[in-house]
Structure 1
Amino acid sequence: MDIQINTSNAVDGTGGFNDAIEETTRSRLARFEDRLTRVELHFSDQTGGRETVNDKRCAIEARLAGEDPITVTNEAATLDLAATGALTKITSALERHIGKSTGRKGH
């Protein structure tokens, strides 16, 4: 599973931020690792640095082998909270998708 982290110009993605997010993502999505080819995380500040409520956004695109990507977004007050919420959403979406594709009667 390849993890790619993208940040907008208004987001400081340097230092330990990328490493911490990558480690958290690997940990949270470990059970899907054999089915995922790539996970992209996109971080942005919706207000360009002005402080407002829930202005940080994390969008996650998970690519399953041979299937269309699954995408979720989450907005929160901080980048960490936005990532945590988006990871929760993508985990649920993957569970639903994989459950539907493997849980059919007679298959």
Structure 2
Amino acid sequence: MKIQINTDAHISGKEALAEHMSGIIEDALEHVSEHITRVEVHLSDENGTKSGHQDKRCMLEARIEGRSPLAVTEQAATLEQSVQGAAGKLARLLESRIGRGHERRAGSPRSRARPSPPPNAA
């Protein structure tokens, strides 16, 4: 799983920040990482140089093999909190999507074709 981090002009310390945030994301997605080819991270400070409540934004977009990308967003008071929140959301979303796809491939009752309802006899 490759993690690509993008920041806006208001966020500094890109190399150290990227390493720290990558670790948070890797930990959160560890159990589903075999299905992910890339995670794009977009970090921004919504208020620029002014401080504000919940002004740090993290958008994560996961590229999953054979499926459409999935994206989540989290806003928080700090970048770390926004990344942790977004990573948690993405992990739950991926578990849901990958789990359902796995059930269908495994032949669970949910994956079997359901017969069409009989036509209305009016």
Q: Does the aligned pair in 1 maintain the 2:25–2:84 contact within 8 Å?
A: no
Q: TM-score scaled by structure 1?
A: 0.93
Over residues 40-70 of structure 1, what are the superposed CA-to-partner deviations in whole Å (9 max), with x where a residue is unaligned? 1100011112111100000000110011000
Please list every run of 5 or more consecutive structure 1 residues that lacks an aligned counterpart in the other structure. Answer: none
Please list every run of 5 or more consecutive structure 2 residues that lacks an aligned counterpart in the other structure. Answer: 112-122
Q: TM-score scaled by structure 2?
A: 0.82
Q: Does the aligned pair in 2 maintain the 1:7–1:13 contact within 8 Å?
A: no
Q: CA deviation at 1:13?
A: 4.0
Q: CA deviation at 1:14?
A: 2.3
Name the larger-Rg structure: 2
User: Aligned partners of 2:9, 2:25: CA distance in 1, in Å?
Assistant: 22
Q: CA deviation at 1:77?
A: 0.5
The 3-state SS of whatever aligns with 2:51 is: coil
Q: CA deviation at 1:15?
A: 4.3
Equivalent residue number for residue 59 of structure 1: 59
User: Aligned partners of 1:13, 1:42: CA distance in 2, in Å?
Assistant: 15
Q: Which stretches of structure 1, 4 residues or longer, exceed 3 Å deviation after superposition?
A: none
Over residues 58-89 of structure 1, what are the superposed CA-to-partner deviations in whole Å (9 max), with x where a residue is unaligned? 00001100110000000000000000100110
Q: Does the aligned pair in 2 maintain the 1:44–1:57 contact within 8 Å?
A: yes
Number of equivalenced pairs: 107
User: Aligned partners of 2:87, 2:13: CA distance in 1, in Å?
Assistant: 18
Identity of aligned residues (%): 36
User: Aligned partners of 1:15, 1:90: CA distance in 2, in Å?
Assistant: 23
